[in-house]
Structure 1
Amino acid sequence: MGIITDIVLPVSLAFIMISIGLTLTLGDFRRVAAQPRDFLIGAVSQIIVLPLVAFALVTAWRVEPVLAVGVMIIAAAPGGVTSNLLTLFARGDVALSVSLTAITSLLSVVTVPLIVVTAHQHFVAGSGGEVAGDLTVTGAVLKIFVIVTVPVLAGLAVRHTMPGFALRFEPLARRISAVLFVLVMVGAIYAERANIGSYFAQAGAITLTLNIAMMAIAFYGAAWLGMRRPQRIAIALECGLQNGTLAIAVAASLFHETLYAIPAAIYSLMMFGTALAFVFLVTRGRPAAV
């Protein structure tokens, strides 16, 4: 992807992850300790159930191996910062949403490499495909630590040492993050513009199915477990709105083929439409105080 991969993508991801760090306070960790059940259900839905649903779909769908890994990359990604804003609009538990976004982003330094490397070995190397570089869990952990954990910790340090500045800058950081996210997504699609119709035909239906199915599983599964409506809304949006920039960055840093990033770009195009539809459905006919 040329300049997109070499410059725009790493700068964009670093800024987005810093903005996540700006939202993270010690109160988030205390909240998790005070209400561990809500957080654990959300984290399990995001980190375990979502990749399992993605694996089942790509196995049943029989998509091209590289695209299958691409779907697993977006499924392994933590929630995006937009989930917090849409949770607010949907009258969900914003505190839970922020905690899930921030902490699963930190945990992604371990969870993403495990899922992605395992998926690559199963779908690509296992099918006789060529292994892309020296792909190991340790190597992937180190790369993701640099592009994810370090910026988040930097944002957390700013929030801790300069809370006034962090609170003033965080809304602007969200808007800048949204613009950078669009630039990365458009760049990924533009780089493969000649083949995007074919890729969309192969990965469009499965990514849309993954998105809708996972939001439904999270929302109704949380209801089955006895969670209140605001928490169910937060978890559903957290599982539906993935960090597409991180997914594209993982694809670009671990592999040398743009095709790995296409499912993340396609998923990112669709997820805002389905999330907005979800917000409309859960708020329709309900008073603002609910």
Structure 2
Amino acid sequence: MSLTLISILLPAALGIVMFGLGLTLTVSDLVRVFKAPKAAVIALVCQLLVLPAIAFGLVLLFDLAPELAVGMMLLAASPGGSSASLFSHLAGGDVALNISVTAINSIIALVTFPIVAQLSMAHFLGEGQSIGLQPDKLIQIFATVVLPVVLGMWVRHRFTAWAERMRGTVKIASIVVLAVVIVGAVSQKYQVLLDNAGALAVITLLFCGCGLTIGYFAPRAFHVSPEQAIASAMEIGIHNAVLAITVAISVLGNETMAIPAAVYGILMYFPVVLVAYLFARRTRAGHLVNQPRDVDMA
């Protein structure tokens, strides 16, 4: 797959993912977060501050190559992935919190993402390497992140029944397009992937595991409900890999930087599925314990 075709497909794939998010989101979801913000604030702090620090530590620990290190930081700066709400639902989490935090974080990422990218490029590639905060780059990210969400919300409001029917189709379409794009992106730097496969596999799995762990226990430490803590775990453990890949290839013009997000986009499902299964078992067990028992009146 040519780099030109990938550069065209990537924004389209990201747009489909974010449009699908918009189909699940209502204004009341956002209002709800602002009325009871504790869980959302904790999740956002972990996402915006803690995870980039963890990614930086992992990169230094494994002495990752500079361009791959920048790619890992791009992944850490990405907001939650749209599939976080799906796994949160399966695990018994607060899905509305996932949807709201993903949308809010996607907007915040318009500012934080370029900052992380610039700082990481300057650190790992040299002081002269940075993307700055060029208006055209911000507009490009805005057009592929925020506008599709707004459009999806409008479609849901205007054509609610159709939006409900199309949610599954859009999600499947985004997964298929993302899979194609990941294969195409990795194929451009296949040898780099082979040379760093072991380190990248360990780093991305550790990164995902840390996100899931911190995402659950940090809210619980502040007495957030188990359902919201599960939602937070999925939100922080699952990142929008397609955004990191899109920025690496379409904005920065560097396929090597896209490799960590591509590896993560495949491997993250192993720990996420396992944790979702464990949470679901615990949730079902809790419901059974709390169910009233029949009393023998004889």
Residue matched to 1:142: 139
List per-residue Cα deviations over 1:139-179 (Å, max 9, x = no partner): 44233112212222222222233333222222211121121
Q: How far apart are the structure 2 equivalents of 1:253 and 1:246?
A: 10
Unaligned 5+ segments in structure 2 are 288-298
Q: How far apart are the structure 1 equivalents of 2:71 and 2:175?
A: 22
Of 273, 277, 280 in structure 2, the residue corresponding to residue 280 of structure 1 is: 277
**AA paired with 1:266?**
V
Structure 1's 120 and 13: CA in aligned 2 closer, same or farther, altered over 3 A? Answer: same
1:258 and 2:255 aligned: yes
Q: TM-score, normalised by structure 2?
A: 0.89
Q: How far apart are the structure 1 equivalents of 2:74 and 2:14?
A: 15
Q: How far apart are the structure 1 equivalents of 2:203 and 2:25?
A: 33
SS in 1 for 2:191: coil
* Deviates most, 173-182 or 55-64: 55-64
Q: Residue 265 of structure 1: CA displacement? A: 0.5
Residue pair 1:244, 1:265 contacting (<8 A) in 2 also: yes
Residue matched to 2:233: 236
Residue matched to 1:110: 111
Residue matched to 2:294: none
**AA paired with 1:95?**
A
Count of residue correspondences = 285
1:213 and 2:214 aligned: no
Structure 1's 26 and 286: CA in aligned 2 closer, same or farther, altered over 3 A? Answer: closer
Which of structure 1's runs of 4+ aligned residues deviate more than 3 A? none
Q: Residue 88 of structure 1: CA displacement? A: 0.5
List per-residue Cα deviations over 1:100-146 (Å, max 9, x = no partner): 112212222112111111111121124xxx737xx112344233112
List per-residue Cα deviations over 1:246-275 (Å, max 9, x = no partner): 110011123222110000011111111110
Q: Residue 72 of structure 1: CA displacement? A: 0.5
Of 128, 131, 137 in structure 1, the residue corresponding to residue 129 of structure 2 is: 131
1:246 and 2:243 aligned: yes
Residue pair 1:106, 1:152 contacting (<8 A) in 2 also: no
SS in 2 for 1:194: helix
List per-residue Cα deviations over 1:203-241 (Å, max 9, x = no partner): 222222111112112211222121121111111111111
Residue pair 2:62, 2:199 contacting (<8 A) in 1 also: no
Q: How far apart are the structure 1 equivalents of 2:37 and 2:283?
A: 28
Of 182, 185, 194 in structure 2, the residue corresponding to residue 185 of structure 1 is: 182
Q: TM-score, normalised by structure 1?
A: 0.91
Residue pair 1:4, 1:184 contacting (<8 A) in 2 also: no
Residue pair 1:181, 1:244 contacting (<8 A) in 2 also: no
Residue pair 1:54, 1:210 contacting (<8 A) in 2 also: yes
1:28 and 2:29 aligned: yes
Q: How far apart are the structure 2 equivalents of 1:249 and 1:282?
A: 32
Q: How far apart are the structure 1 equivalents of 2:273 and 2:26?
A: 28
Identity %: 34
Residue matched to 1:56: 57
Of 173, 176, 183 in structure 2, the residue corresponding to residue 176 of structure 1 is: 173
Structure 1's 3 and 254: CA in aligned 2 closer, same or farther, altered over 3 A? Answer: closer
Residue pair 2:78, 2:113 contacting (<8 A) in 1 also: yes
Residue pair 1:69, 1:116 contacting (<8 A) in 2 also: yes
SS in 1 for 2:224: coil
Unaligned 5+ segments in structure 1 are none
Q: Residue 288 of structure 1: CA displacement? A: 7.1
Residue pair 1:53, 1:214 contacting (<8 A) in 2 also: no
Structure index of larger Rg: 2
